[in-house]
Structure 1
Amino acid sequence: MGKFTGKRALVTGAGAGIGRALAIKLSEMGAEVFALSKTAANLDSLKAECPSLTTVCVDLSDWTAAREAVKKLTPIHLLVNNAAAVILQPFLTATPESFDVQFNINVKALMNVSQVVAGDLIAQNQRGSIVNISSQAGQRAILDHTVYCSTKAAVDMMTKMMALELAPKGVRVNAVSPTVVMTAMGRIGWSDPAKAGPMLARIPQGRFAEVEDVVRAIVYLLSDESDMVNGHMLPVDGGFLAS
């Protein structure tokens, strides 16, 4: 029996990176996993790699379509709001379009999916655990990340509000706040020593996070081992936020 046998889990942004690795891990740990992404090709390759999970192709920026898609999956006992958009722009030239894209996916879609999942669990008097993927960028200003940092600060406060209102009804809510993570995209984006050097200098452990570092933290927060952890932002940052 796996740790999550009998549990139904939903991972958003599951086509690549952290979400993909997490969906596979949760499936290996016995959960019935629903992997959600807007990119069909990524879901097809994920299904080929891990046939036991179910893929869900929907664009989370579409409030109604996303809501209907998630309703069909309930009950969901374990939810990970991982989907995110990032568009780097300096403050003075940040556009309303980039603002809308990032807040729609990073904050609004998180609220939408969580309302459906938590509302169903509460109506059925079932317990659940939700993990929101935030970032060190929610607590530290990072050059050219004005809108992204602002969305993650909003994720942190929404996590606290969800924890406050949902935990009395049996649904715990926490967040994980990683530093730069060495996904395929992360390796490309942070391969330049001129860019990576200053950030690494601020991380006491002297390295960026690997995907598995973040997956392990999420698994802990989803599990009963963290039963008294609620409304918490868990940094996976090698000490970045401590320095």
Structure 2
Amino acid sequence: MSVLVITGTGTEVGKTVVTAAVAATAVAAGRSVAVLKAAQTGVRPDEPGDAQEVARLAGAVATAELARYPDPLAPATAARRAGRTPVRPAEVAEAAAELATEYDLVLVEGAGGLLVRFDAAGGTLADAAGLLGAPVLVVASAGLGTLNTTELTARELAARGLELAGVVIGSWPDSPDLASRCNLADLPEVSGAPLLGALPAGAASLPPADFLTAAPSWLAPRLDGVWDAAEFARREAP
């Protein structure tokens, strides 16, 4: 794949740190990587955004950000409140396609979930993925409630004819509860896609050098890593 779209099942599920892990693992495999943040919200002009956080953790990656809005809201709402032009799916697709002419892998990180609106016309990250014909990686939480949001996301992708590359758990707890451990078997079932990784809780707080070293152990071979889903499930199974 030359472009991979990364979305979450909602907010605060670990989407940015997973993007960083995918980027770091690809770089370790010898690939050049660019990270495109479609719309950054809730960050002041002088503050680092998600793309900069990916670069801090992953190191040698290029970054691009199409728009930034100060309020921590959905991009369409944040753009309207700021009186600024919204980002449209076609602009996201065009920027990603242009980066793909220069880099081996382009990671397009959305804002929140798959259907969060970019503009007043209802454009979403799913629309951008459709224009690109790119696979979508879904970042999900580990515990109770994740099966519903993950299946809804998978169903929407299927209805649009988009490829679900797989699911990555954005934050695997040090002491997982019963729901989290059972979800290792249930997430692939409800999504119809493989589990492609699980990042340990607190991964983003690691020193960048340690993050770079560890990232391949969190992701499956399809994402250039060495993580074994079957072995992980056997070890963590209830």
TM class by shorter-chain length? 0.3 to 0.5
Structure with more relative contact order (C-alpha pairs < 8 Å, separation 6 or more): 2
TM-score by length of 1: 0.45
Larger helix share, 1 or 2? 1
